[in-house]
Amino acid sequence: MDGEIDADELRSKLDEETVRVVDIRSPGAFERGHIPESENVPFPSLVDEVERFEGDDEVVTVCPKGKSSVQAARLIASYEGFDGDVVSFEPGLNGWDGPLERAEDEETPADTAAADRDSDEGPAAPF
């Protein structure tokens, strides 16, 4: 794992389209609101789907509070087929002050989805 980034750094990377954002929450939480252009790979599925990141230059993992995303970033970084950089979004989705997208591709103001951000942290797994 290559560390953690904050909201300003993530926003900059999204503007430059240089990063793959992986939201590790449950599908239901993801559908209620997620960072635009992110994809959902629930934490329990990550081990089976880690090869999806092979060939990516940079991956940012996201969870509600920035705790499980550290473990997810470590898991991706430990995969032999992954040569890029992987970081955790340090404040978690709770610290994202930008817009959120819903599964229906509707943008949602950040404060209306705040209640959804506190759930689905995922299990604490030793990686």
Q: Which amino acid is at 119?
A: S
Number of Cβ within 10 Å of residue 112's Cβ equals 11
Q: Give the residue among 53, 56, 47, 68 at the shortest CA–CA distance from 13.
A: 56
Provide φ and ψ at 60, rounded to 5°: -120, 125
* Distance in angstroms (rounded) separating the CA atoms of residues 127 and 105: 34
Residues involved in catalysis: 63
The pair of structure tokens assigned to 20 is 């793959």
C-beta of residue 60 within 8 angstroms of C-beta of residue 87: yes
Helix (H, G, I), strand (E, B) or coil at 75: helix
